[in-house]
């Protein structure tokens, strides 16, 4: 059995790869919790023959996972790294390793699903947007703070907003915040939704005449915060990184 592991900034997500298909997706937090907690939960996945990992949680986590997997399962994790070309996708970055492996895998999964121009939006600690044209060429993207990071930055840098936000729970009327907390929360969400919509319009503008309009994929733990404000058709795709990891795990080694 091959176990696929998506090590994000705050959570671990994993799934078994059996006969080319993902099994049930499970998750547990790993940030700000004792290592023994996530290790105990992950051990329940059963001993894999291979452990294939997308790690954006940092070097320290990678070392901890390696030591634990070897001691527990006698298996060394295979850490996937971004490549310039793979699975039909060509990235825009001149230095492939500068592109986060999670973004790369999400684009691979989206491209393999859509087989046409697509925009991949991942809403988490940060919000990332990546555009892929109908030929599988990554055209580039954006990275901006996510909803929580925007809120925290405002609260840390502007004492008046923090004090006013603490007076009452966020309140919203339609599209607008009607107290300070609501204005901060809704402002962040609308800003992210607007960036996503602009990204789709920009990709559509550079497509070859006759190409189908971009398919929009929305992923990430904060996707539900942005989705209600999007005025474009989109598909919720919470497991894009694992799907991309499955594609790479089944490819011959480069």
Residue 254 reports pLDDT greater than 60: no
Q: Does residue 128 sit in helix, strand or coil?
A: strand
Copy the structure tokens of residue 117.
Answer: 């121009």
Residue 209 reports pLDDT greater than 80: yes
Mean pLDDT confidence for 166-178: 93
pLDDT for res 251: 82
pLDDT for res 22: 92
Copy the structure tokens of residue 122.
Answer: 């991942």
- The span from the CA of 199 to the CA of 129, in Å, is 7
Residue 253 reports pLDDT greater than 70: no
Task: Please choose, from the candidates 100, 61, 123, the residue with its C-alpha nearest in 3D space to the C-alpha of residue 108.
Answer: 100
pLDDT for res 135: 94
Give me the residue label for tokens 């189908």. 212
pLDDT for res 175: 87
Q: Where are the beta strands (DSSP E) in 95-166?
A: 118-123, 126-132, 138-145
User: Average pLDDT, whole number, for the chain?
Assistant: 94
Q: Which residues belong to the active site?
A: 102
Structural domains present in the chain: 2-79 (3.30.420.40), 116-146+185-238 (3.30.420.40)
What pLDDT digit, counting tens, does each position of 37-87 carry?
999 999 999 999 999 999 999 999 999 999 999 999 999 999 999 999 999
Residue 7 reports pLDDT greater than 60: yes
Say how many CA atoms lie within 13 Å of 160 toward its Cβ.
Answer: 0
Task: Please choose, from the candidates 179, 68, 202, the residue with its C-alpha nearest in 3D space to the C-alpha of residue 132.
Answer: 202
């Amino acid at each position: 059995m091959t176990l696929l592991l998506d090590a994000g900034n705050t959570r671990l997500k994993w799934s078994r790869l059996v006969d080319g298909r993902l099994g049930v997706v499970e998750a547990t937090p790993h940030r700000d919790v004792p290592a023994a907690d996530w290790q105990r939960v992950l051990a329940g996945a059963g001993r894999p023959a291979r452990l294939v990992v997308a790690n954006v949680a940092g070097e320290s986590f990678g070392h901890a996972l390696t030591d634990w997997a070897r001691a527990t399962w006698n298996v060394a994790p295979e850490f996937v790294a971004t490549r310039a070309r793979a699975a039909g996708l060509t990235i825009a970055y001149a230095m492939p390793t500068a592109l986060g492996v999670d973004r790369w895998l999400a684009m691979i999964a989206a491209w393999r699903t859509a087989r046409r121009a697509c925009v991949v939006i991942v809403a988490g600690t940060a919000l990332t947007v990546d555009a892929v044209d109908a030929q599988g060429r990554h055209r580039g993207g954006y990275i901006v703070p996510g909803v929580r990071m925007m809120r925290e930055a405002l609260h840390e840098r502007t004492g008046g907003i923090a004090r006013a936000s603490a007076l009452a729970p966020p309140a919203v009327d339609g599209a607008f915040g009607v107290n300070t907390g609501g204005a901060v929360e809704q402002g962040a969400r609308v800003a992210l939704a607007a960036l996503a919509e602009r990204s789709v319009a920009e990709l559509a503008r550079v497509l070859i005449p006759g190409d189908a309009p971009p398919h929009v994929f929305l992923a990430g733990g904060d996707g539900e915060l942005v989705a209600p404000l999007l005025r474009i058709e989109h598909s919720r795709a919470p497991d894009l990184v694992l799907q991309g990891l499955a594609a790479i795990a089944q490819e011959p080694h480069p």
